[in-house]
């Protein structure tokens, strides 16, 4: 099961590596811990470092950079905050220090199949997930540059509603 997911993730990622395995295993365990039955917009993930694992998350947890439900908050830690916004459940998984001296293949296998508590520690999440934004925010055209801009990024300047670019220029 997890090896199939790893194989599928590698097709997106372009290569196979321990980093990808980390994302696959973390996402796999998060689905189980949070008892998620249906993937979709209520799910959200905040990764604390940028690396190969993000593609494992995208494939297995189903949240992507494209749908805006995978976010990076750079802390330099191999840690992931997983949320199910429909149930309110969440969990953070943080990589433990793994045995040294393993080959790349052995390490990958360890990450995918060792008992969970040897691979990751579990803690409460470090961040709040933003609200489920399945409803697209309305946009309006900025009168200064003529470009359409979504509401949270509009500002009022001299009685006009303008985009953030134009507000910063003024």
CA–CA separation, 138 vs 152, rounded Å?
Answer: 9
Q: Does 163 bind Zn ion (CB under 5 A)?
A: yes
In this structure, the strands spanning 79-84 and 89-95 are antiparallel
Region of 27-35, 85-93, 115-123, 138-146 interacting with Zn ion (CB under 5 A): 138-146
77 vs 144, beta carbon nearer Zn ion: 144
Q: Which of 110, 144, 160, 161 binds Zn ion (CB under 5 A)?
A: 144
For residues 48 and 100, the answer to whether their CB atoms sit within 8 Å is no
- The pair phi, psi for residue 163, each rounded to 5°, is -75, 165
The nearest distance, CB 48 to Zn ion, in angstroms, is 17
Region of 96-104, 121-129, 132-140, 142-150 interacting with Zn ion (CB under 5 A): 142-150
| Rg of the chain over all Cα atoms, to the nearest angstrom | 19
Q: Which of 9, 17, 21, 129 binds Zn ion (CB under 5 A)?
A: 17
- Does residue 1 sit in helix, strand or coil? coil
85-124 residues in contact with Zn ion (CB under 5 A) are: none
28-67 residues in contact with Zn ion (CB under 5 A) are: 52
Q: Does 8 bind Zn ion (CB under 5 A)?
A: no
131 vs 146, beta carbon nearer Zn ion: 146
For residues 151 and 169, the answer to whether their CB atoms sit within 8 Å is no
Give the single-character DSSP code of 138. P
- Cα–Cα nearest to 73, from 52, 104, 48, 38: 48
Region of 2-10, 27-35, 103-111, 144-152 interacting with Zn ion (CB under 5 A): 144-152
Question: Where along the sequence are the contacts to Zn ion (CB under 5 A)?
Answer: 17, 19-20, 52, 142, 144-145, 163, 166
């Amino acid at each position: 099961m997890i090896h199939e997911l790893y194989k599928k993730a590698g097709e997106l990622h372009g290569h196979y590596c321990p980093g990808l395995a980390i994302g696959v295993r973390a996402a796999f365990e998060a689905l189980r811990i949070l008892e998620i039955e249906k993937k979709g917009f209520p799910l959200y993930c905040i990764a604390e470092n940028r690396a190969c694992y993000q593609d494992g998350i995208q494939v297995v947890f189903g949240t992507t950079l494209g749908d805006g439900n995978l976010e990076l908050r750079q802390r330099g830690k191999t840690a992931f905050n997983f949320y199910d916004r429909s149930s309110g459940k969440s969990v953070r998984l943080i990589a433990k220090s793994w045995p040294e001296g393993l080959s790349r293949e052995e390490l990958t296998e360890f990450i995918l199949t060792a008992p969970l508590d040897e691979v990751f520690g579990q803690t409460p999440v470090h961040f709040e997930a933003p609200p489920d934004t399945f409803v697209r925010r309305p946009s309006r055209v900025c009168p200064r540059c003529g470009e359409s801009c979504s509401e949270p990024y509009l500002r009022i300047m001299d009685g006009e509603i303008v985009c953030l670019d134009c507000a910063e220029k003024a």
